[in-house]
Amino acid sequence: MPGKNLSRDEAQQRASILTVDGYRVRLDVTSAPDPAAATFRSTTTIAFRCAEPGASTFVDLLAPAVRAVTLNGRALDPATAYDGARVHVDGLAADNVLTVEADCAYSRTGEGLHRFTDPADGETYLYTHYEPADARRVFATFEQPDLKAPFTFTVTAPAAWDVRSNAAHEAVTAEGAARTWEFAPTKPISTYLTAVVAGPYHVARDHYSRTLDDGTVLDIPLSALCRKSLAPYFDADEILGVTKLGLDFFHERFAYPYPFGKYDQAFVPEYNIGAMENPGCVTFREEFVFRSKVTDAAYEGRANVVLHEMAHMWFGDLVTMRWWDDLWLKESFADFMGSYGLVGAGTRYQSAWVTFANQRKAWAYRQDQFPTTHPITADIRDLEDAKLNFDGITYAKGASVLKQLVAYAGAEAFFEGARRYFQRHAFGNTELADLLDILEETSGRDLKSWAAAWLQTAGVNTLTPQLTADAEGRITELAVLQDGDVLRPHRVAVGLYDRDADGALVRTARFELDVTGARTVVAEAVGRTRPALVLLNDDDLTYCKIRFDEESLETLRSGLGDIKDDLARALAWSAVWNLTRDALMPARDYVALVLRFAGQEGNIGVLQSLHTQAKGAVDLYADPAWRGEGGRLLADGALRELRAAAPGSDHQLAWARFLAQTANGSEHLGLVRGLLAGTARIDGLEVDQELRWALWLALAATGQATEEELAGELAADNTASGRRQHTQCLAARPTPEAKAAGWSAVIDSDELPNALVEANIAGFAVPAHRDLTALYAAPYFKLLERVWAERTIEIAMRIVGGFFPQAQVDEATLAEADAWLTGHPDAAPALRRLVLERRDDLARALRAQACDRA
């Protein structure tokens, strides 16, 4: 499979003959502040050995121009050696030195070396993002994770800039209007983990010290970076405080000293993902710098990501998967350790497992029910497959399964296994078998059969209680029924709940057992009084969907909000949402539960999830004939709870944002406009800049905001965030002209940066505008292959997923999707997967609407 899309077979063949001894990469980015400059100079020298002298190979590179290629002192003609994606070299010696000089392109898509100019002050910022294979946009590289090597970077940049890379700098030399930063060699790392961050960043500094078991002192310089214009909002002390707690925690659990010297954390603009674990130089999306009031759930989410990326320093950076099949070896572990660390490290975010059960698992359940679902250990044929596998299976299902493994094997056995894993495979590459062998040593369990059931099969099991009682209300049998294509071993807790003297639903009994096969009896339950609620998977030990017996479901209908324990209540909310998605509970019944009990929900993260899900239930799963009424009920409920919420509380802010999402009548929209104008007031509610944009979006989407008003708000907030929000508001207006402009801005030009592509798509795809966007369904299916061929994979994924006519929940749109899939069997597999998943969402919505209609 030649070209950009490196295949697993090619990578294996290349790794079988090559050993890379080191890279020297020199970048000159002094042109970056000039918006007319499209490229920067990149010079790469690679020292490598070949086990088959005389063989040929290739180096990956995506660059507008290659100036020179030299192999072992022999000049190669770039015109014949470089094909636009690869530099081909032949006649290799046992020991080789290859130098490639190229003009590489600044990126506006967040792939490679991304360039951003701050509208607030005109300053220019750069950062790199490579995973899975975009280092080749910045320097010539053997772009696969198992050809690790030390990297030595030299970067020439404008004199006023700060420059960071994976290692500490050794020297900085002034050269007129520029300075050259020379960095120390890194430890052996994979190409996708290298990093450069450059610009006039604001920097907060700290350090971390720890005395190791051998008596030596480990000292780690810490820093946190953001754009200068965001510095007034940057709570670096909070971020660095979580960082130090995490370093303590992971050193205690892993017993392997942090291996990468310093620890920089850069919050960068227009970032495509949450964060990236570049060793020594972690990058985060700058939306984690909160310039307006956010709820505590946002702070918890950020802290989780900080610890997630820190866990990668060991799981992923120190020890790396051999190929992307075993991506889970780093992502599942980091996702698990993010929540485990928040609780174990003593942060203030002790409800992390509630968030995990309610939010992360919802992502996994959705992904695992697509026809494109895959085992946690996946079959990754090439880089396009790899790109799509950064999904809910690899992250959240994998993390859920690891939580199950800890319950199954024991926490101490699990962490002792991790310690041995790092010691044996430090700076190397591993596969599934390497980890299982060690965990079998430490746990004494047969984990190969466990892995076969959990890691090498796809799909989610459903657990349902089956309960019988005698005439006196005593349980005669309680069994757990397991359903699914593959029946797995589950370590679960079964909780029995009844009302206490205050009317709260509290756990009165708990049984922990192994569920195996289709039916498992809970013997200890016999003879107990039948409870009001049977909650399977209490404490959320395993990965499954749970159902209820009829009496338990009636208890939830009348008292879901009365469940006292946060985690148990979150599990109940998750279960009824799954019932709704599976067309077993009418959408209007789910909405009624939210309207009745969300006002009682104490966990702010769960509350915000309920808002998102209730809105989705009305927009997609409700009978269209009831949709209008459902929308009014949500808006009325939001207004009622907003007025009732404690002044200045997180709950008040969450309800204000939900009102902005649901406002549709004159009362709701009148309040929205009054809050913006200052003529209306909710005691304790601060209408700051981010809330202002949310309110403007409500007015724009209902046709109540003029272009002039939106321009006025942008003039008052001419920032990167303001421009994104303004772009979304313009595309969200309910007019044919606004939809045409939003569509054209993305489809007819590739000049927009990634952040504004996303904003246009979000504004265009307002569900309530389905009549306007229906006109674009046919053009959408016609342009798919062109978009996939012409755009970078990151932008193509956003277009394919974002412009799919998801709001057109009807048989005609489903037929259009089916016709495209049938008529394009040879389209890129990754493209077909995206369309098939969106098609499956549409079919699920049709089933849910039929349930709601019935």
Torsional sign, CA 324, 330, 336, 342: negative
Whole-angstrom distance between the N-terminal and C-terminal Cα of the chain?
50
Report the DSSP beta bridge partners of residue 498: 506
Q: How many CA atoms lie within 13 A of 463 on its CB side?
A: 28
d(CA 17, CA 781): 43
Torsional sign, CA 730, 734, 737, 740: positive
- Say if strands 151-158 and 95-105 run parallel, antiparallel, or are unpaired: unpaired
d(CA 659, CA 697): 11
Cβ atoms of residues 155 and 163 within 8 Å: yes
Structure tokens at 411: 């926490």
Cβ atoms of residues 426 and 318 within 8 Å: yes
Report the DSSP beta bridge partners of residue 65: 103
For residue 369, the surrounding DSSP H or E stretch is none
Question: Residue holding tokens 């991304």?
Answer: 114
551 is catalytic: no
d(CA 68, CA 79): 10
Question: Residue holding tokens 């050259």?
Answer: 180
For residue 813, the surrounding DSSP H or E stretch is helix 811-823
Q: List all residues 6 or more positions away from 175 whose beta carbon is below 8 Å from its beta carbon.
A: 156
Structure tokens at 263: 């620890």
3-state secondary structure 100-167: EEEEEECECCCCEEEEEECCCCCCEEEEEECCCCCHHHCCCECCCCCCCECEEEEEEEECCCEEEECC
d(CA 113, CA 153): 14
d(CA 27, CA 42): 5
Distance of CA 181 to the CA centre of its chain: 32
User: Out of 277, 309, 440, 794, which one is annotated catalytic?
Assistant: 309
Cβ atoms of residues 116 and 270 within 8 Å: yes
Cis peptide before 375 (omega within 30 of 0): no
Burial 92-128 (b: 16+ CB within 10 A, else e): beeebebbbbbebbbbbbbbbbbbbbbbbeebbbbbb
DSSP-based three-state secondary structure for 687: coil
* φ, ψ at 385 (rounded to 5°): -60, -45
Counts for the chain of helices (H) and strands (E), in that order: 29, 28
Burial 284-297 (b: 16+ CB within 10 A, else e): bbbbbbebbbbbeb
Query: Could you give the dihedral angle defined by the CA atoms of residues 406, 410, 415 and 418, in that order, rounded to the nearest 10 degrees?
Result: -70
Torsional sign, CA 577, 809, 755, 780: positive
Distance of CA 533 to the CA centre of its chain: 34
DSSP-based three-state secondary structure for 485: coil
d(CA 743, CA 739): 6
Structure tokens at 629: 């009424």
d(CA 753, CA 759): 10
User: What angle do helix axes 811-823 and 829-853 make, rounded to 10 degrees?
Assistant: 160
Would you please indicate which residues are annotated as catalytic (active-site) residues? Answer: 309
